[in-house]
Amino acid sequence: MSLSVFVLLPRSISWCQVFVRSHLRTSSPFHPFSHLNQEEEESKPDPLKEALEAAEEQAQTHPAQAIAAFHDVLHTPNRDDEVAQRIKEEAIYRLAKLHADAHGFREVMALLKDSNDYFALVPKAKTAKIVRTIIDIVTKVPNSVDLQVELCKEVSEGRRKECGGDGWAWG
């Protein structure tokens, strides 16, 4: 048996119907044994996270191989969940740092273009944060002012070419 309850919310949020169930499932956070299932899920290693950690280890000794490994993490198909998005975001930052440290600023710009599929999945505010962080990473490299200006121009051009609200379009 279920009970329907109507709740009047502020004007900015419309009417909402709340369902109260008489029986809680085991997947419910209120079930007394639900924490057992969560512990089992948390103990399983995430292959994407493991790939990121392996790439980070390679970055210290073999940067070229690490770049390829970070690209593999970034372009892992069939993973659009929140955890995968955070891992892919971290891969973007690591790639930007590796390229910036090697003065590969063209590669940093190519990274932005290459990340379009990822940017289409995340909100625009998150995309702007990532781009800002990449610019911050580049600014920490000495003697790179001209390239910073070029990167900012590229970012603003990409912003102007933005396509219909579903991501950033890089030219």
**Whole-prediction pTM:** 0.67
User: How many C-beta atoms lie closer than 10 Å to residue 134's C-beta?
Assistant: 24
Q: Are 119 and 165 in contact (CB under 8 A)?
A: no
Helix axes 47-61 and 82-101, enclosed angle (nearest 10): 10
The distance from CA 21 to its chain's CA centroid, rounded to whole angstroms, is 35
Query: pLDDT, tens digit, for every residue of 142-165?
Result: 887 877 787 777 777 766 665 554
Which whole number is the average pLDDT over 27-48? Answer: 59
The distance from CA 55 to its chain's CA centroid, rounded to whole angstroms, is 17
Q: How far is CA 61 from CA 3, 5, 55, 88, 103, in A?
A: 61, 60, 10, 22, 18
Q: Are 68 and 114 in contact (CB under 8 A)?
A: no
Query: pLDDT, tens digit, for every residue of 70-121?
Result: 999 999 888 889 999 999 999 999 999 999 888 888 898 899 888 888 988 8
Q: Are 128 and 158 in contact (CB under 8 A)?
A: no
Q: What is the pLDDT of residue 19?
A: 35
Q: What is the pLDDT of residue 42?
A: 58
What are the structural domains of the chain?
47-160 (1.25.40)
